[in-house]
Amino acid sequence: MGTHVLRPRHRRRRLHRPPHRHRTRRRRAPRRQLQPGFPGIPRPDVTVVQGELFDIPRLLTVLADHDIDAIVHTAAMSHPTYSLSFPVATFAANSEGTVAVFEAARLHGVSRLVNFSSETVYGRNDSGVIDESQPVNPSTPYAVTKVSGEWLGRVYAQRYGIDVVSLRIAQVYGPGNRMDEIVRDVMRGVVHENAFAIPHGADHSYNLIYVRDVASAALAAVTADARSERPLAYNISSSEYWSLAGILDEVRLAYPGAAVSAGPGLEPTLDLQGQFSIELARTDLGYEPQWPLRAALADYGTWLGDHDS
């Protein structure tokens, strides 16, 4: 359902792996055997700790064992469309789980908590450029939980003094993503079958972000200077805005022999949104995307050549 990244007080490291993998860093305590299907250890200097979001005593033990002063909270039921089929499970993980993480942070004395929100809080909004002053208009249970998480962060900042930085992450693609997502679907088809076709959606536009830029944004949010006041959340995206037709044009350039196509119209399961402004994240956090689509497709294609997902 997602993961946390925890930062020990004595060390800061760049986040190289996809942020939705469960990772904690520690110097002591033996590794525990993981349940089948749980993500393995991505690097020798990273320790994986398995547990439940709702288990505050377990969270407090991990925080204390590793002297944690910052948390990147990414754990969630992470697909807006799936949440329409599983609203109760979505609220349990995303709302109850989030308040448990926030409360463990408060009890332990964590100074910085980076909370992953989502582009979905805006709902349908094709009015041009979307900055953080735009109203939220959630259209799925998942999006509602993300709005509530932002406001919970505001309360924990104002009432308990935790510096909460909420990030409205655009549509993520890249290595490690196992969920349905258009760039993943296109690239898997091209790399493994040299073809991709969909009967609709060529006119749908996306705020995309490569997973490596998500890691950079999380790091920027962890290390940014403290502020007495913050906005409710920051938009986090690339600096580009792509229609599916444009994405497929880039894929054709990278894979000239691939047969890719999309029929006209929008993607009916997703809200159409205008282009994200990321100026506030640039100013307050020092975030700057490094992976434009063309470079990201090349990197992603190389990774997919060695992996199925």
From the list 279, 270, 202, the residue with the least C-alpha distance to 237 is: 279
Residue 172: beta bridge partners? 209
Which letter, b or e, does each residue of 151-172 get, where b requires 16 or more Cβ atoms within 10 Å of its Cβ? Answer: ebbbebbeeeebbbbbbbbbbb
Per the prediction, the chain carries an average pLDDT of 89
Residue 23: beta bridge partners? 5
CA 237/CA 287 separation, integer angstroms: 10
Reported pTM: 0.88
Which pairs from 37-45 meet CB under 8 Å and 24+ separation?
39/3, 42/17, 43/16, 43/17, 45/13
pLDDT, one tens digit per residue, over 113-163 is 999 999 999 999 988 999 999 999 999 999 999 999 999 999 999 999 999
Q: Which of 6-10, 174-178, 193-197, 256-260 has the lowest mean pLDDT?
A: 6-10
pLDDT, one tens digit per residue, over 89-113 is 999 999 999 999 999 999 999 999 9
